[in-house]
Chain A
Amino acid sequence: MGSAPERFPMRWPARWRDPSLLKLLADTPINLLLTPADPGLDAVRREARRMGLTCGELVTAQPSRPDQIRIRPRSELEWKAPGAVVAASECVWPSIASESAGSAGPTGVPWVDSNGWFAQLARTLMPESEIWLVFDPPGGTVLRPESYALAVADSEAFGARWVVSLDEQAQAETRLAARIIQVVGDALRFFGRHRAWSGYVTCAVLGVLSDYSGEDRHMAEEILNLLARRHLPFRVLRKTDGKSQFEGLKAIIHPDARPAAREIEQRLLDFVRQGGLLIAGPGWRVREGHRGPEDVHRRFDVFLLGKGRLAIAREPFSDPYLVALDAHLLLGRRHDLIRLWNGGSLNVHYTAERDGKRAVVQLVNYSTRRPAHQVTLGLTTRYRRAWYWELGANKPRALEVRPASQGVELPLPEFAVYAAVELEA
């Protein structure tokens, strides 16, 4: 029995009532048209079905028909009862935030809007569901086709799917729309060809264990977002899962203000005794261990327990940027799996086959422009061979792997939106 074909959804503009516009979708993977329930679009739907496309509708209430897909704000998603498709709104248009655009001197790292962390979170907490990200292009600005490629890449690289949506200008200019749809189609096709990568597991030495719900949700989610900006790969951990999910980790952040249940507490303490680092808020009840050396910023009390450490924040977590920073320093950069130079506008997703023999680093460039300085990728695993894929490429090219004091370094060619580096140990 073959698996169901992948669905590539697009929100059809309500003003596009001419069925001939459907020809713009020819030769693209887009195969699901999401249209408003507007009789004026009947002709479009008829023609779409004739072309072999599926039609459906996004709704905000409980669906009443099989072709309806409910959108939920991502902050209200209940992880325990997902459907086959989870369509989340409240997503951001991926980009570099305008106030931090451009270079900021010797150290500037721009603020990036990305849905990547959410895609990783949703994929872990709802592994059986397809994760669709519902967001529109921003109004009042002229978007280059590369921005659309970025919207696809920021979703697909992290295991989710963007529900394609066109901006006002593209809706008004068929030629522009055609160019955008072609770019989107090329990007979707590229990720479709590399679907095996989405079966790889995240390479990380740091995990974040939270309920991801209630009052703890925002902090836990923002920590994921800001760890990603530090290029510090993380594994999303579930309280319902056992100890095996801690395998290979060197540190766990437990950001929840609510104390962990006794059973989870014991699991985490076992992790510490075996040499791990646990970073927790002040609500954590320290019952054993003795004081260790202070952390750099003196925001934590550090206790030694077994072979590991407990770092208990002195004040409740209030700034996720600082939590991510402190976690990185407490853990120590000697445990970095990946480093980037001149990669301030990039986020990365580092995954590998379970046996670790093959891996891929996907790099998403939120500036959508070739960087002013060439990017170098550093990996502490001494891979022997590497291949470089640019978005849309049919074939990879071999990359030079340079030995370095901390593993290997790979000088990357310039790319505007997305690149992937396949690695072989």
Chain B
Amino acid sequence: MTSRMTRREMLGALVGSAVSPRRTAPTAPVSVVRCRSYDSELRPALERLFDQLGGLGRLVKGRTVAIKLNLTGSPTYRLGHRPLGMAQWVHENVVGVVVHLLGRAGARRIRLLESPWSTAEPLEEYMLAANWDPQALANAAPVVEFENTNYLGRRKAYVRFPVPGGGSIYPAYDLNPAYQECDVFVSLAKLKEHATTGVTLSMKNCFGITPCTIYGDGAPEDEPGPFPRGGRTMFHHGHRRPPKSCPQEIDPSSPREGGYRVPRIVADLVAARPIDLAIIDAVESMAGGEGPWIRRSRPISPGLLIAGTNPVCTDAVATALMGFDPMADRGTPPFETCDNTMRLGEDLGIGARDLSRIEVRGTPIQEAVCRFRA
């Protein structure tokens, strides 16, 4: 029997259910493989990663696939001498091989999306500034496109994504249409800690689907701006409102604190724009924060790749692989000053974070843990 209920409708129905979401939130297998470098072992490792999930073909064949990349911060900012892909960004080889494998699995069209900080420049230009080769990515599959979703670009109007259940901070988000015009949405993230949300994985990666023409520090009061200006401190501090034409805050008296707001916004965004495939690059990364601008951040080499079709389950396994407890909540590492985004996602019915309910395929967690805080 084929359900006619969309995933978004199902999430909406789950919200407010009397049954504990911890027991009822959907669960899906999470695949974990070892991979020590971005060289020749990467491709077979990614093939194995996806094979353990049943292969990519069933998910992407004949479909348009949008991949939200994690390219946080400026492309000219490095952790020491490390190229960005060895620290705060997903590695370009991972992007290239994933694109290639998606194309080989029959994806009709692959779109690489990101909202690079405070700029309307083409995504390819942003990548070039990091010393990436966007042409190589474009050649990795038959149809590969790039889009900067931090503004409207040449499109006509933003698309409104309501949060199932009404939302915690905003009832809906206005996003670039690229996030609607895809059959499969992939979050391609990095395994990192985060100063505001404790960890940044496949869910937190979606913070960057929001355009700064609306949610940026320089957004106008009435309508979205033509070009992005500034970061999304509005989401952190709630000190200003989105333009009047966009959905406004539900409760302006709610806490004006990043550790309260950002996890809720992230969980709501993932509920509003569900992730179909979560991939986490954990071959090389950084510990201590999400970017080199965080003091005491340092390189770390987990040597892993993680993927799953449920972002909460995937992030829960990833969190455990970092040496943290995905069931932990505010006050407990790594969530000392914030709420647990996975818990909020679980409450929304997106997915389970309880490891006892998640099947891990491939390398077991206990054999692969890389403690981010020794």
Interface residues of A (CB under 8 A from B): 103, 105-107, 109, 294, 296-297, 329, 332-334, 336, 339-344, 373-374, 376, 378, 404-406, 409, 411
Contact = CB atoms under 8 A, between A and B. Distances in A.
Interface stretch (B6-14, B119-127, B157-165): B119-127
A106 B133 contact: no
A168 to B, nearest CB: 36
A55 B66 CA distance: 72
23 contacts: A105-B231, A106-B73, A109-B74, A296-B120, A296-B121, A297-B227, A329-B122, A333-B128, A334-B128, A336-B128, A340-B76, A341-B76, A341-B78, A341-B81, A373-B77, A373-B78, A373-B79, A405-B133, A405-B136, A406-B128, A406-B131, A406-B132, A409-B83
B250 interface: no
A260 to B, nearest CB: 29
Given A341-B77, A376-B78, A406-B133, A296 B128 contact: no
Residue from A294, A405, A406 whose CB has the most chain B CB atoms within 10 Å: A405
A404 B86 CA distance: 13
Interface in B38-78: 72-74, 76-78
Contacts of A334: 128
A294 B292 CA distance: 35
B143 interface: no
Nearest to A106: B73
A342 B136 contact: no
A336 B231 CA distance: 26
Contacts of B129: 333, 336, 339
Contacts of B132: 405-406
Given A103-B293, A105-B231, A406-B131, A342 B120 contact: no
Nearest to B122: A296
Contacts of B117: 106-107
Interface string B96-134: 000000000000000000000110111001001101110
B217 to A, nearest CB: 11
Nearest to B295: A372
Contacts, number: 75
Given A103-B293, A378-B131, A297 B120 contact: yes
A179 to B, nearest CB: 32
Contact of B76 (A329, A342, A374, A409): A342
Top-7 shortest CB links A-B: A106-B73, A333-B128, A411-B81, A107-B74, A405-B133, A341-B78, A406-B131
A106 B76 contact: no
A376 B81 contact: yes
Nearest to A412: B81
B293 A409 contact: no
B291 interface: yes
Contact of A106 (B72, B120, B136, B154): B72
A411 B83 CA distance: 11
Contact of B125 (A107, A332, A339, A405): A332
Given A106-B73, A374-B81, 18 more contacts: A103-B293, A106-B74, A106-B117, A106-B291, A107-B73, A107-B77, A296-B121, A329-B121, A329-B122, A332-B128, A340-B76, A344-B76, A373-B292, A374-B78, A405-B132, A405-B133, A406-B128, A406-B133
Given A106-B74, A344-B76, A405-B131, A333 B81 contact: no
Contacts of B79: 373
Nearest to B88: A106
B131 A342 contact: no
A341 B86 CA distance: 14
A190 B120 CA distance: 43
Interface residues of B, number: 29
Residue from A294, A336, A341, A343 whose CB has the most chain B CB atoms within 10 Å: A341
A245 B177 CA distance: 46
A339 B75 CA distance: 11
B76 A339 contact: yes
A404 B78 CA distance: 15
Contacts of B292: 342, 373
Contacts of B74: 106-107, 109
A105 B133 CA distance: 26
Nearest to B233: A105
A106 B128 contact: no
Interface string B292-307: 1100000000000000
A404 B1 CA distance: 52
A387 B331 CA distance: 50
Contacts of B122: 296, 329
Contacts of A343: 76
A289 B72 CA distance: 40
Contacts of B131: 339, 378, 404-406, 409
Interface in B77-99: 77-81, 83, 92
Nearest to B117: A107
Contacts of A404: 83, 131
Contacts of B76: 339-344
Contacts of A373: 77-80, 292
B128 to A, nearest CB: 4
A336 B128 CA distance: 9
Contacts of A332: 125, 128
Contacts of B128: 332-334, 336, 406
Contact of A342 (B72, B78, B92, B133): B78
A333 B116 CA distance: 15
B18 to A, nearest CB: 43
A309 to B, nearest CB: 16
Interface string B269-284: 0000000000000000
A181 B117 CA distance: 44
Contacts of A344: 76
A205 to B, nearest CB: 14
Nearest to B116: A107
Residue from A107, A334, A374, A378 whose CB has the most chain B CB atoms within 10 Å: A107
A333 B77 CA distance: 17
Nearest to B133: A405
Residue from B83, B117, B133 whose CB has the most chain A CB atoms within 10 Å: B83
Contacts of B154: 294
A255 B129 CA distance: 25
B150 to A, nearest CB: 12
Contacts of A339: 76, 129, 131
Contacts of B227: 297
Contacts of B72: 106
B309 to A, nearest CB: 31
A409 B117 CA distance: 24
A263 to B, nearest CB: 35
A103 B77 CA distance: 12
B289 to A, nearest CB: 10
A342 B74 CA distance: 10
Contacts of B136: 405
Contacts of A294: 154
Contacts of B120: 296-297
A107 B120 CA distance: 15
A404 B131 CA distance: 8
